[in-house]
Chains A and B, each alone.
Chain A
Amino acid sequence: MKNSEPIISVRGLEARYGEKVVFSDIDLDIFPGQLTVILGSSGCGKTTMLKAITRLVEPTKGSVKFWGEEITQMDENRFQNVLKQVGMLFQGGALLNSLNVFENIAIPLELHTHLSPTLIERIIRVKLSLVKLDNVMHLMPSELSGGMKKRVALARAIVLDPKILFCDEPSAGIDPLTSSHLDELLLELKRKLNMTIVVVTHELASIHRIADRIIFLENGQLIFQGDLAAAKQARIPSIDTFFRSGRYD
């Protein structure tokens, strides 16, 4: 697996909000069929990284390639075809408030496939049960707890069986048991569908369960990328501190 071509490769990436540079000069690779964990203290730019890679925040410099194709200059129509193969779980869930849970998850199915309503209903029931939610289909997002919203959002992110899945802090606000179920789910998706998964998380236990590879961000710089085992042997102080105490310096 090591020798395969990266599915996403990022070179010299820079992102800003106005004048403020969040990170610059980032080179990183995501390999197919692997689960990559992005680590870094709050506010160091992990969410922005996911958004810059997917052009939700247009990068100010650098290149991003998906399947070897440059996407930063790609025209909107072609880029949308790339996005159909990509799922994203947003940090805040980002459910559409005016639609109920069922309708939220149904959006990608209704707009990007021509499946019959019975099939759509079946698929949604499966995806909700995969994220350990029952009997929420008819609820509105405002009637869900934070952790439930997160899981509905995850169900929406995987509803089209994307090739690549980004998850921004999937376990935040979720109890440890459910969170370890979600880890199982990610591993299952990786194993059975060969999904490439990128997860932002701070949970040490979870990192040990799921990570093939880690990427460590600090002060707008990428200070490490590589295997989990290599990270622990790299003798980088902030990484050592993190794996010892689960905290950032």
Chain B
Amino acid sequence: MLKLSFHDGLLRIEGSLVASDIPSLHSELETALKSKDSFNIDLSGLTGIDSAGVAFLEELTLKAAQKGALIIHPPSAEIQSVMNTFRSLDLPVPEPRPKPGFLESAGENLLIRLDGFKKAIITASEVVWWSIIGIFDRSGQRKYSVVQQGLILGFNAMPIIALMSFIIGFILSLQAAVQLRIYGANIFLADLLAITMVREMGPLITAILVAGRSGSAIASEIASMNVSEELDALRMMALDPVRFVVVPKFHAITLVMPVLVLLAIIAGEIGGAVIAFGYLDLSVSTFLSRSFNILTLKDLIITFTKSTVFAWLIVIIGAHYGFQTTGGAEGVGKATTASVVSSIFAIVIADSLFSLLYL
């Protein structure tokens, strides 16, 4: 047990001075340090000590020395030798990392962003270049990697995309149907739904889900390959990481994205049809004929072009963040999050640019 007493200018510490007991010493110590007179310290009664105890004694002697206190009874040789092992008095105090000022860090952030943007452009051009070359020359890619990636990126995403689109088609139609009914304009539901699903919701729902599902997977796969030196290993095997890892994904997503968008549109239409037939009493033939009549070839071309662009953005941004990752497992998580946020942002920007085509 630890005991601390303060009598007649002598501070005695007896027993075993270990981490768990130190916090209880504070009050008595404060009295000793507050007293006006100088005092002396007796450590001869110590029976045990650990590193926390040593640190405590060092702090104590530093403070007490300012009042002229001295250790007049040293501890036993055994205790003294532990104190030597855990001695911190002559260790250098490391300097904290300098923190940059506000303007400095703002400027630096801007530079990092510009630099990141430049690197993203470089990654993008490499990916596109090697993807074009890769159509004709499959060297540097593993066999069936496109098929495998197509299954992972496309086929596995089908259920969730179909379900989400169905629900969104259903909700949009329900909201619209209530309004249309007031004006007796039931029949326009078909037009409204066809245009929204084909022009906007189909591509957008698909792209956002693919970004969340596959963009993040691409970023985290490449990022973890990066931090575990797998990309270095590929380079040393004379393989280009972009051709080996990214190009198959790029080809695969280019092939599957239109299929996914088509699926989203059909599922959304079915969701809306439930409202059209069940709530607004439209006939199947009117619904179908109005839906097909309102759409033009231009709509379809723009839709599938922009979906492909979205898909490319997802792969390129995922790969970019993957390749830029530093800092171990921690960095992988950051790269993944950043890739999803950036690719959804890029998709929305690209979408708004495409909508200018409808003006």
Q: Which residues of A contact B (CB under 8 A)?
A: 97-98, 109, 113-116, 118-119, 122-123, 125-127, 129-130, 134-135, 137-138, 140-143, 159-161, 188-189, 192-193
- Chain A's closest residue to B84 (CB) is A192
Interface string of B89-108 (1 = CB under 8 A from A): 00111101100000000000
25 contacts between A and B (CB under 8 A): A97-B327, A113-B20, A114-B22, A115-B23, A115-B52, A118-B59, A119-B22, A119-B55, A122-B58, A125-B93, A125-B94, A126-B87, A129-B91, A130-B85, A137-B94, A138-B96, A140-B327, A140-B330, A159-B51, A161-B18, A161-B50, A161-B51, A161-B52, A192-B82, A193-B50
B76 in the interface (beta carbon within 8 A): no
B329 in the interface (beta carbon within 8 A): yes
Q: Select A141's contact among B22, B93, B328, beta carbons within 8 Å.
A: B328
Q: How far is the CA of A200 from the CA of B88 in the complex (A)?
A: 29
A115 engages B22 (CB within 8 Å): yes
Q: How far is the CA of A137 from the CA of B92 in the complex (A)?
A: 12
B59 CB, min distance to chain A CBs, angstroms = 6
A53 CB, min distance to chain B CBs, angstroms = 24
Q: Select B328's contact among A97, A123, A159, beta carbons within 8 Å.
A: A97
Interface range for B = 20 to 34
B326 in the interface (beta carbon within 8 A): yes
With A113-B20, A119-B59 in contact, do A134 and B94 touch (Cβ < 8 Å)?
yes
B85 engages A119 (CB within 8 Å): no
Q: Select A123's contact among B52, B94, B96, beta carbons within 8 Å.
A: B52
B317 in the interface (beta carbon within 8 A): no
Total contacts A-B at CB 8 Å? 86
Q: Which residues of B contact A (CB under 8 A)?
A: 18-20, 22-23, 50-52, 54-56, 58-59, 78, 81-82, 85-88, 91-94, 96-97, 227, 326-331
Q: Select A142's contact among B58, B81, B86, B330, beta carbons within 8 Å.
A: B330
- Chain A's closest residue to B83 (CB) is A192
B82 engages A126 (CB within 8 Å): no
- Chain A's closest residue to B93 (CB) is A125
- Chain A's closest residue to B81 (CB) is A192
Residues of chain A contacted by B96 (CB below 8 angstroms): 138
Residues of chain B contacted by A140 (CB below 8 angstroms): 327-328, 330
A6 CB, min distance to chain B CBs, angstroms = 23
B82 engages A119 (CB within 8 Å): no
B52 engages A138 (CB within 8 Å): no
A126 engages B19 (CB within 8 Å): no
User: Is the contact region of chain B dominated by helix, strand, or loop, or is it mixed?
Assistant: helix
Q: How far is the CA of A123 from the CA of B18 in the complex (A)?
A: 12
7 closest A-B pairs by beta carbon, nearest first, are A142-B328, A122-B55, A114-B23, A97-B330, A142-B327, A161-B50, A126-B88
A193 engages B82 (CB within 8 Å): yes
B339 CB, min distance to chain A CBs, angstroms = 19
Residues of chain A contacted by B327 (CB below 8 angstroms): 97, 140, 142-143
B19 engages A160 (CB within 8 Å): yes
B51 engages A127 (CB within 8 Å): yes
User: Which interface residue of B22, B52, B92, B326 has the most chain A CB atoms within 10 A?
Assistant: B52
Q: Select B94's contact among A126, A135, A160, beta carbons within 8 Å.
A: A135
Residues of chain A contacted by B78 (CB below 8 angstroms): 192
New A-B contacts (8) at CB < 8 Å, excluding given A116-B23, A126-B88, A129-B88? A115-B55, A115-B56, A119-B55, A119-B56, A122-B55, A138-B94, A142-B331, A192-B82
B232 CB, min distance to chain A CBs, angstroms = 15
User: Which interface residue of A109, A137, A192 has the most chain B CB atoms within 10 A?
Assistant: A192
- Chain A's closest residue to B89 (CB) is A122
Residues of chain B contacted by A122 (CB below 8 angstroms): 55, 58-59, 88
User: Which interface residue of B22, B85, B87 has the most chain A CB atoms within 10 A?
Assistant: B85
Residues of chain B contacted by A127 (CB below 8 angstroms): 51
B30 CB, min distance to chain A CBs, angstroms = 13
A239 CB, min distance to chain B CBs, angstroms = 34
With A141-B328, A161-B50 in contact, do A188 and B97 touch (Cβ < 8 Å)?
no
A123 engages B227 (CB within 8 Å): no
Residues of chain A contacted by B227 (CB below 8 angstroms): 142
Residues of chain A contacted by B331 (CB below 8 angstroms): 142
B214 CB, min distance to chain A CBs, angstroms = 25
A144 CB, min distance to chain B CBs, angstroms = 10
